Amino acid sequence: KKKLKISGRELASVPEQVFGLDQLQVLEMSPERESCLRYQMELLPRDISRLKNLTLLYMDSNNLKKIPAEIGTLRHLERLTLSNNHLSSLPAEMGALQRLHSLHLANNSLTELPASVCQLRSLTFLDMSDNKIGTIPSSIRHLEKLETLLLLFNSLESLPEDICLLRNLHTLWLGNNHLRSLPASFGELVNLDWGYNYCSCNFEGNPLESPPPEVCSRGPEEIRDYFLSFHR
């Protein structure tokens, strides 16, 4: 069996026999996306390391408080969804998941972007919305392949200049933070999908002063010209 979905309102743990399915590639233990259910699992067992062939692991909408270090042994993992849990930290061993390209962490209790995440060079989609993140480390520049970064509903007061080195970014959502300014090189993110009338960055809900919101909505060229005007 290569794909397994375990469901049930009372789901509180992973059945022991699951860890004997050494050819398992997809393991889903999340309620349907359109439902309001939350499962009861608080801990992902260390035996998860026995599922060496896992490529997809879905654990949204549980009560997870901790992810074991053994998650780093799943070297084939490509997609990991942990949104809507109670995680306050992530193990450093996640940096070993070099095939991971999609990581969902929305609606947890994280306060910063873990340095180990910045080592995931294959990552193309990172959702950390609604986590109360206060800072983004400069090591984010290592996510060279990142295409989508969602940071809505956090506590960001500034962005590191290094975020402007993520030239493959197509979508960067920053709405509902505490941003008053953008990095001077922000206009270099020319691959962002700015849309027709509204920037894909979604700046709404920020007290932006430099550049002002009307400049941001016009796209990278206007932002670049705004900062260049200070050096003429």
Task: Please report the pLDDT score of residue 35 as a whole number.
Answer: 62
Indicate yes or no: pTM above 0.85: yes
- Which of 57, 66, 77, 165 is closest to 110 using CA atoms? 66
Contact 149, 170 (CB under 8 A): no
- Segment 72-127, tens digit of pLDDT: 999 999 999 999 999 999 999 999 999 999 999 999 999 877 788 888 989 999 99
Mean pLDDT on 30-56: 87
Task: Please report the pLDDT score of residue 232 as a whole number.
Answer: 56
Distance of alpha carbon 203 from alpha carbon 199, whole angstroms? 8
Distance of alpha carbon 217 from alpha carbon 172, whole angstroms? 13
Task: Please report the pLDDT score of residue 181 as a whole number.
Answer: 93
Cα atoms in the 13 Å half-sphere on the side-chain side of 38: 12
- Segment 16-33, tens digit of pLDDT: 999 999 999 999 998 876
- Which of 159, 155, 220 is closest to 190 using CA atoms? 220
CB under 8 Å, gap of 24 or more: what pairs does 101-104 form? 101/125, 101/145, 102/78, 103/79, 103/127, 104/60, 104/80
- Segment 167-215, tens digit of pLDDT: 999 989 999 999 999 999 998 888 888 765 456 778 889 999 999 888 8
Task: Please report the pLDDT score of residue 121 as a whole number.
Answer: 87
Task: Please report the pLDDT score of residue 228 as a whole number.
Answer: 86
